[in-house]
A and B are shown apart, each in its own frame.
Chain A
Amino acid sequence: MIEGILIGLTTALTFQNILMVMVGCFFGTIIGMLPGLGPMTAIALMIPITYGFDPATGLILMAGVYYGAVFGGSTSSILLNAPGVPGTVATSFDGYPMAQQGKAGKALAIAAWSSFAGGTLSAIYLLFMAPSLSKVSLSFRSPDYFALMILGLTAIAAFSSKGQFLKAMMMVVLGLMLASVGQDSLSDITRFTFNNMNLTDGISFVLVVMATFAMSEALTIILKRNDPTSAAKQVSLTELGSIKINKEERSKMYKTIPRSSIIGFLIGVLPGAGATIASFLAYGMERNVVNDEEKEKFGKGSVNGLSAPETANNAACSGSFVPMLTLGIPGSGTTAVMLGALLGFGVQPGPRLYMTNPEIFWSIIMSMYIGMVILLILNLPLIPYIARILAVPKNYLIPLILFFSITGIYVMSFNNFDIYLMIGIAVVATFMRLYDFPMPPLILAFVLGGLMEENLRRSLLLSNGSWEFLWDRTLTLCILLTTILIVVWHFYKSIIKK
């Protein structure tokens, strides 16, 4: 492992890669801060830029964007009560009241330190856990992978939006359907191309991500421009107050951060769960753990109430890299986007990644830590200035997002058809968003579609067409039972309880 850490440090500490982490953190913070634009949009917009780099550098840039966007989301949660990402909703519970009390600077500083601590601790957990999990995952066979993908897709559908499980499952199926367009990987038979040569190679991953996130986010923002429910009450950006944290507040954070980081990391590792659930769980747990006097302060500007979700959501970000790097199965929509980008680089994440491409594996882990340090150095002194970005007029923001999206597709294919297809998918996605059809399950399914078919093919061929492979191996059966438990639990909560 020491050798791996050194390989990682050698790669991550090159001038270019440090610069990429800085650029990634900076742009991620800015994009994540803008309400409605989350890490997925931020990463999607960065994909065209990464084409010019090697895989390790490209992924380091995306990891920086990811962390930056999560931190940026907290800023808009605290200052505007408008979370940039779902993972920072819990941050607004106590962050926004603090800002209203004239302590916005302090709230942002607590968020920055908690994010840093959560990210650092989880990077350490990842450092020790990822290699051993890689070894365990070498024993995984096709039926296990197939079952694991079913679990991942079901879990993301169950957790992605409250009470909308069926909608999320429809999006999963739609994602898999989109992935099935083009040539069959084994027989080269074309499917669903309707004799259109442009579809022979299938629909590009970048196109789907740009359409369903960047472009449809932009269209949704314009569409809901006059919606009174989406208008946020704004805290004065000129009166942020001090960013200093006193001794009493620090001692509260010392207790909150370790426990919230463990919750965040473990939740992040689970496929489909991620930062949103982690932050809510950490917030809920913290409320139960603190004394009655502190409990009273929750929802009114509690330091513990702000620190817990911030620590947990950043820890969950690192945790979500575990299934992606070790199993090749992304744990969240954001890591699904990164997996797609990695596949575009010709790198196949999975148990063998740290043997075949150790420089990528270790440099991502090491750059996570470097990213945390840079995020703190960059963001803490710049808080008063960064906050002003929230005032960027949408008249400029929206065309720029559309421009980045279309450029991304243009440099990739030089094909009008792809641009039309992207606009078409974006329009449909915008309409579906209005009615709460979640997009992350679609992206995860689209990325996993090919792998899922491949593993189902192998499993069915090996078992001569019998579905017994689902319960032949204990591991497969355990994964499937977990999937069933998630579905049953979800239906119990959303239907029977009502």
Chain B
Amino acid sequence: MPDKKILKNRRLFLQQALAAVPGITLLGMTGHQSLFASTAWAAPGQQTPYRPTFFTATEWMFINAAADRLIPSNEDGPGAVELGVPEFIDRQMESGYGHGEFWYMSGPFVTDVDFTLGYQLQFTPREFYRAAIADIDQACVNMHGHVFAGLDAATQDSVLEKLQAGALTLAHIAKPAEFFIQLLANTKEGYFSDPMYGGNRHMGSWKMIGFPGARADFADWMLQPGRVYPLGPVSIQGEKA
């Protein structure tokens, strides 16, 4: 079950830590990096805290804070952070996907085309996080005096809504809404994909919605349409629930 206390404490800790550093600017973030470099976060029930490989401490704070708003933890079920979505995203950044191996990444990059012609920015997924988080944090500092992770939940939601609507101006990103598309997609990927990728810890999201995961065999059940399926999910590596 989600441990709300831990989540609340984490937010509090985060806010206090940010408040303790005066004059948050992009330069100021260097201070954060050193502050958080030794601070790895453990998801509830996880014994060894996950240490991000790709994300810097500052970026890690953003990823955790954003994932926590995109899929919050509450009485309906687990949120993205407690299911390990930040770990999932960090690990994906080291994969072929993160390096852009699945995308055509040759120029010229023409960004002023109709939205319907698809993603046209020059960033691989890794590069996009690196560039966009810095810009979003700077925009948050300009607007609200704190980086994204240091804002209260309602303000964070309003920033995400603006980003989604393309209404948040970012210094180095021609189409900021594209970053929201990537961020939300990766967050849901970590929430719903097999636990072996680092998210969906103990198949928490599958249990919540009733998806049986990798069972993938309904020979006995396809002749019983309309009956409640009785079995919980299994994962690819054999975890059962």
Co-complex (A, B):
no
Residues of B within 8 A of A (CB): none
Residues of A within 8 A of B (CB): none
